[in-house]
Amino acid sequence: MVPSSDAVNWFPEDHRFMAHALRLAEKGLYTTDPNPRVGCVLVQGNEVVGEGWHQRAGGPHAEIVALRDAGERARDATAYVTLEPCSHHGRTPPCADALIEAGVRRVAVAMQDPNPRVAGRGLERLRRAGIDVSCGLLWQEAERLNPGFIKRMRSGLPFVRSKLAMSLDGRTALASGESKWITGEVARQDVHRLRARSSAIVTGIGTVRADDPLLSARPDEATDLEQPARVILDSRLRSPANARVFRQAGRTLVLTTASDPPARQALLNAGAEVLEVQPDAAGRPELTAVLRLLGRMEFNEVLFEAGATLNGALLLAGVVDEWTVYLAPCVLGDEARGLFRLPGLAGMADRQELAIVDARRVGRDMRLILRPCG
Residues serving a catalytic function are 63
For residue 96, state whether it binds Zn ion (rule: CB under 5 A): no
CB of 108 to ligand AOF, least distance (A): 14
Which lies closer to ligand AOF via its Cβ, residue 33 or residue 305?
33
For residue 295, state whether it binds ligand AOF (rule: CB under 6 A): no
Tell me how far apart the alpha carbons of residues 193 and 188 are, in angstroms, rounded to a whole number. 9
Instruction: Give me the helices (H) in the chain, please.
Output: 12-26, 62-70, 95-102, 121-128, 139-145, 147-155, 185-197, 205-211, 261-269, 287-296, 308-317
CB of 36 to ligand AOF, least distance (A): 5
Taking the mean position of all CA atoms in its chain, how far away is CA 51?
24
Check: CB of residue 109 under 8 Å from CB of residue 120: no
- Count of CB atoms situated within 10 Å of the CB of 248: 17
For residue 40, state whether it binds Zn ion (rule: CB under 5 A): no
Pairing relation of β-strands 252-256 and 171-173?
Answer: unpaired
Binding span for ligand AOF by CB under 6 A among 32-40, 176-184, 234-242, 247-255: 32-40
Binding span for ligand AOF by CB under 6 A among 57-65, 228-236, 298-306, 312-320: 57-65
Please identify which residue in 61, 195, 230, 337 interacts with Zn ion, judged by CB under 5 A.
61
Please identify which residue in 51, 63, 234, 322 interacts with ligand AOF, judged by CB under 6 A.
63
Binding span for Zn ion by CB under 5 A among 59-67, 176-184, 189-197, 211-219: 59-67
Pairing relation of β-strands 322-328 and 365-372?
Answer: antiparallel
Tell me how far apart the alpha carbons of residues 327 and 302 are, in angstroms, rounded to a whole number. 21
For residue 234, state whether it binds ligand AOF (rule: CB under 6 A): no
Which lies closer to ligand AOF via its Cβ, residue 106 or residue 238?
106
Of the candidates 314, 311, 325, 313, the one whose C-alpha atom is nearest the C-alpha of residue 366 is 325
Q: Provide CB contacts within 8 A for 160, sequence distance 6+.
A: 291, 302, 304, 314, 319, 320, 321, 322
Q: List the interface residues with ligand AOF, window 99-138 (CB under 6 A).
A: 113, 115, 118
Selection from Zn ion, ligand AOF, none that 200 binds (CB < 5 to 8 A by kind) is none
Check: CB of residue 43 under 8 Å from CB of residue 78: yes
For residue 90, state whether it binds ligand AOF (rule: CB under 6 A): yes
What is the side-by-side order of every strand in the sheet holding 39-44? Answer: 47-53, 39-44, 78-81, 106-109, 132-135
CB of 62 to ligand AOF, least distance (A): 4
- Enumerate binding residues for Zn ion (CB under 5 A): 61, 86, 95
- Enumerate binding residues for ligand AOF (CB under 6 A): 35-36, 38, 54, 57, 61-63, 83, 85-86, 90-92, 95, 113, 115, 118
